Structure 1
Amino acid sequence: MAPVYLAMKNSKLEPIVIATAQHRQMLDQVLGLFGINPDFDLDIMQERQSLSGLTSRLIQKLDEIYAANSFDATLVQGDTTSTFTGALVSFYHKIPVGHVEAGLRTDNIYNPFPEEVNRRLNGVLSTYHYPPTESARGNLLREGVPSDRMIVTGNTVIDALLWTIENKAGATSSFREKFGLESGQYILMTMHRRENWGEPMRNVMLAVRDILDSMPEMKLVFPVHLNPVVRETVYPLLKGHKRVILTDPLDYLPFVSLMEKAALILTDSGGIQEEAPALGKPTLVLRETTERPEAIKAGTALLVGTDRKRVFQETIRLLTDRSAYERMALASNPFGDGKASLRIAEHLELVLG
């Protein structure tokens, strides 16, 4: 949403930022990087928060803000609990909702959980829809969303990535030097989704050990999510390995730096499936389904699930088969040209008058 905010600041619109702070540590560094000062900060996060507790706290606090202020529209992005509750409270106050990154679907309500249902509900609550691709637009049309209520924009995550590379290029190399990482000599990994908690995540950690045993020159960098459930699986299996670097979640700028020069990426993250192709990085998706089939179709990403043997085999194949690697690295990015935010701001200017 940062590039959307910047585009709106350069338009006739007046953006009012409500930060739910569903993930406090992850939020603050992004706000600082893009120079965003929230008008409202709910600071909602609690340790080991349940989805029900988070949802109820968000609805109550957001309702207080909407009751005390006059807004012409609400913009929400993606599929988080904050996104769903923001759209719901806006609906309760009869304020139109614009959904950024609309129309992504796996057609499995429990995978990813709870994101698939969050974004489907947003599809019902939203007045304006900003699907990033034609495929996402097709999903919305099949669900009965009128075509004149949506425009294909590309994904704003590409806008943010290209802005960062252009404006912060001088700072990126220092982050890799800090960890002693050379270009192409490390795998970057993220894994945190609820459907992967427990045995699936354990299987992947064992696969990582197998990969490093087979590739003695390769390192692994893993910024580990702060959720204790994730850490209780990751650290016992990977901590202490001499070629594994476990860190707390990284700020956006150093993470972009690590993506730039990684050999490949292992992830269950949605956004990274879009960012990595813009940097020419083959991506193995540690999930059974993806709401970004464009990446799979374009050949920039491959679904490998969480089976230990398959994760190992596909990673080794890419690291040892140059032709297979280059097919993924050189495939075109289907997620946009870096101008999605401008399209959203221009559309809102038009419809709000």
Structure 2
Amino acid sequence: MSGRQRIAIVVGTRPEAVKLAPVVRELQRTRWAEPAVLTTGQHGAVVRNTLACFGLRPEAELAPPANARGPVPVAELTAGLLSSLGSRLRATDVHAVLVQGDTSSALAGAMAAFFAKIPVVHVEAGLRSGDARSPFPEEAHRRMIAELSDLHLAPTRAARRNLRAQGVAADRIVVTGNTVIDAVVAASRNPCHCTVPELREIEQDSVPLVVVTAHRRENWGEPIRRVGRAVAVLSRQYPDVTFVVAAHMNPSVRTAIEESLRDRPNVRLPGPIPYDAFARLLSRSVLAITDSGGIQEEAAAFGLPILVTRDNTERTEGVDSGLARLVGTEETEIVAAAEKEFAREGVLDVRKPDLPFPRPNPYGDGRAARRCAAACGWLLGLAPRPSDLTDQET
């Protein structure tokens, strides 16, 4: 590995593992990079399992802050992550640090690198909702990471405009497309080796599927319960549709959405779903109901309509393209929006997986990771600057 530039990739949550895995794979293919994955422990074994879907293992696994009384508050979580990442970076020879998105791990990674005077590369830079307190705390995290970053890898032209409005120099921004498109399509093509009977049954079933998730902090409690009740209503109205509720790691969040759904015969509650199995389910679903930012993007890879159970979103491209619709968390609004989707001609026909990039895809062309890796090489003076994703490519 002599002469290679060591690049630390900070991964805290499953979405970070998904979106950074293709970048790590592309860095491994270069002659100049030595990528090292550092996991922070935010999502523990789930991150390890997700990385394994892409043939990756972390070089180091840090211990996350713990709180015996429940979830760790954001301030304590960020402080603990900053301390552990700072110690790790000081103990190793690192030439650049990659962070992704808007988590506490991403913010702590950017801060630790900044304090260590190591260049920061922000993957999926420039998303903005316009409200610093929604989504909370992710919107503020993104803005703070932008102030610390040396290279901003914007997934879309809209994200680039947001960065320019914040004062980021144009020559520090590369428009790459979103790496989640690379990831979800690759994972959806993995062969099915599922050992969980309920998941295997779902994958082999031919009925229409609706994927449901809920986890955002601002929706904890009653809003998530309303989402669960809306899905219960829909399951009664559409008995020939299977509703797959993908569980969140937080037990209280999971309980809140599932409490109205446990006795519904066409609702599946399989527990945590491995990423490749989830990607395969998404590829053959007819609708997604979610408050997840990542799923808003992943669904676009398959042309899947999305009902976003939030009041605003930083993924505005999906809304602008018509694939996504903001419906909030009121039960009646969710039900009405789903009924409208189901009423469209052919929606409830069993769909076969088709080409993974229905046009137009607002989030890119599936070559984002290659551009991200090349941009890192350019930052370090080892490779030419990659071309931006162009209007024609999206």
Alignment TM-score, normalising by the size of structure 1: 0.93
Listed as ranges, the matches of 1:251-262 within 5 Å are: 251-262=274-285
Query: How far apart are residue 232 of structure 1 and its match?
Result: 3.2
Find 2:41's aligned residue among 21, 28, 33: 21
Deviates more, 1:195-204 or 1:94-103: 195-204
Listed as ranges, the matches of 1:256-275 within 5 Å are: 256-275=279-298
Find 1:351's aligned residue among 365, 379, 386: 379
Q: Give the match for residue 195 of structure 1.
A: 218
Query: How far apart are residue 162 of structure 1 and its match?
Result: 2.4
Q: Give the match for residue 320 of structure 2.
A: 297
Query: How far apart are residue 325 of structure 1 and its match?
Result: 8.7
Quick one: which amino acid aligns to residue 27 of structure 2? Answer: M
Q: Give the match for residue 87 of structure 1.
A: 110
Kept after mapping to 2: 8 A contact 1:184/1:263 = no
Q: Give the match for residue 34 of structure 1.
A: 54
Listed as ranges, the matches of 1:58-207 within 5 Å are: 58-166=81-189, 168-169=190-191, 171=193, 177-179=200-202, 182-207=205-230
After superposition, what is the alpha-carbon deviation per residue over 1:3-24, rounded to whole angstroms, capped at 9, x for unaligned? 0000000112111111112101
SS of 2:71 mapped into structure 1: coil
User: Where in structure 1 are there 5+ consecutive unaligned residues?
Assistant: none
Q: Give the match for residue 245 of structure 1.
A: 268
SS of 2:259 mapped into structure 1: helix
Query: How far apart are residue 129 of structure 1 and its match?
Result: 0.1
Q: Give the match for residue 318 of structure 1.
A: 341
Quick one: which amino acid aligns to residue 116 of structure 1? Answer: E
Query: How far apart are residue 53 of structure 1 and its match?
Result: 2.1
Quick one: which amino acid aligns to residue 22 of structure 2? Answer: P
Aligned counterparts of 1:110 and 1:85: Cα–Cα separation in 2:
19
Query: How far apart are residue 96 of structure 1 and its match?
Result: 0.9
Query: How far apart are residue 180 of structure 1 and its match?
Result: 6.7
Q: Give the match for residue 5 of structure 2.
A: none
The 1:199–1:331 alpha-carbon spacing in structure 2 relative to 1, beyond 3 Å, is farther
Q: Give the match for residue 333 of structure 1.
A: 361
2:67 matched to 1:44? Answer: no
Quick one: which amino acid aligns to residue 266 of structure 2? Answer: R
After superposition, what is the alpha-carbon deviation per residue over 1:234-286, rounded to whole angstroms, capped at 9, x for unaligned? 23221222221112221101101110111211011111111111112111111
Quick one: which amino acid aligns to residue 350 of structure 1? Answer: W
Find 2:255's aligned residue among 232, 240, 243: 232
The 1:234–1:181 alpha-carbon spacing in structure 2 relative to 1, beyond 3 Å, is farther
Kept after mapping to 2: 8 A contact 1:176/1:257 = no
Quick one: which amino acid aligns to residue 24 of structure 1? Answer: G
SS of 1:151 mapped into structure 2: strand
Kept after mapping to 1: 8 A contact 2:180/2:297 = yes
Aligned counterparts of 1:344 and 1:231: Cα–Cα separation in 2:
34
Deviates more, 1:100-109 or 1:228-237: 228-237
The 1:175–1:74 alpha-carbon spacing in structure 2 relative to 1, beyond 3 Å, is farther
Aligned counterparts of 2:58 and 2:204: Cα–Cα separation in 1:
35
2:233 matched to 1:210? Answer: yes
Query: How far apart are residue 198 of structure 1 and its match?
Result: 1.4
Query: How far apart are residue 177 of structure 1 and its match?
Result: 4.2
Alignment TM-score, normalising by the size of structure 2: 0.84
Aligned counterparts of 1:215 and 1:138: Cα–Cα separation in 2:
42
Kept after mapping to 2: 8 A contact 1:175/1:254 = no
Kept after mapping to 2: 8 A contact 1:131/1:152 = yes
Quick one: which amino acid aligns to residue 72 of structure 1? Answer: H
Q: CA RMSD in A?
A: 2.2
Aligned counterparts of 2:202 and 2:230: Cα–Cα separation in 1:
23
Aligned counterparts of 1:149 and 1:279: Cα–Cα separation in 2:
31
Aligned counterparts of 2:203 and 2:371: Cα–Cα separation in 1:
40
SS of 1:237 mapped into structure 2: coil
